[in-house]
Amino acid sequence: MSSSGSPVPSVPPTLVMGDDGKARCAWGADDAEYRRYHDEEWGAPLHDDRRLFEKLCLEGFQAGLSWITILRKRPAFRSAFHDFDPQQVADMTESDVERLLQDAAIIRHRGKIEATIGNAKAVLALDESISDLMWGFAPPPTGRRRPVAWSDVPAVTPESTAMSKELRSRGFRFVGPTTMYALMQSTGMVDDHLAGCWRAG
């Protein structure tokens, strides 16, 4: 009970009760930008081709780093990579790579910068939209038990492994199975909001 005598909602330790009275996955409760991302983006179905390409690239940049680092740098990434327009990114040259390696506003990693340009070329070479390709690997939403704790959330699934294999065969880089499962989570191909979170469907 609170000091006023009102009952305090019981919240599992994997969730955090916000000052707005909403229970959230614990990772999305502390930082304001994480909270916005948790509430508005993570797990929401995303079908827009450009934004999917952006997520693909940013998930690759995130490897070895925290996602909040990427979120805070996302405006700079959008500026550096022409708002992730695949045609404009594909047209970038070695001089652009050298310029971006001096840009402290983004992650200065040659391999990831070059992969972003290469992935744009791979998008343009597709015989279908990147949305259709990626969503073809989304598992069926029915019959899947909602996770109760983070220990219930996998890092890799058969679907993310299959997506990774297909993308690699089409020339994409930095698209490993773990990275692709993170992309599935962030784009709503799977919904891993924990049971009890207000965003859980």
* Alpha carbon 196 to its chain's center: 22
Q: Determine if residue 57 is labeled as part of a ligand binding site.
A: no
What is the helix (H) or strand (E) element at residue 32, kind and residue range? helix 32-40
The catalytic position among 41, 67, 114, 198 is 67
Establish whether 67 is a catalytic residue.
yes
Q: Residue 193 carries which DSSP code? A: P
The catalytic position among 37, 42, 135, 181 is 37
Establish whether 40 is a catalytic residue.
no
Cα–Cα distance for residue pair 109/125, rounded to 1 Å: 25
The single-letter code of the amino acid at 68 is I
The catalytic position among 59, 135, 159, 181 is 59
Establish whether 34 is a catalytic residue.
no
Q: Determine if residue 25 is labeled as part of a ligand binding site.
A: yes
The single-letter code of the amino acid at 15 is L
Q: Determine if residue 109 is labeled as part of a ligand binding site.
A: no
Q: Are 157 and 181 in contact (CB under 8 A)?
A: yes
Name the phi and psi angles at 25, rounded to 5: -55, 135
Cα–Cα distance for residue pair 89/81, rounded to 1 Å: 6
Q: Determine if residue 82 is labeled as part of a ligand binding site.
A: no
Residue ranges of the annotated binding site are: 25, 38, 193, 197
Which residues are marked as active site?
37, 59, 67
Residue ranges of the annotated binding site for Zn(2+) are: 25, 38, 193, 197
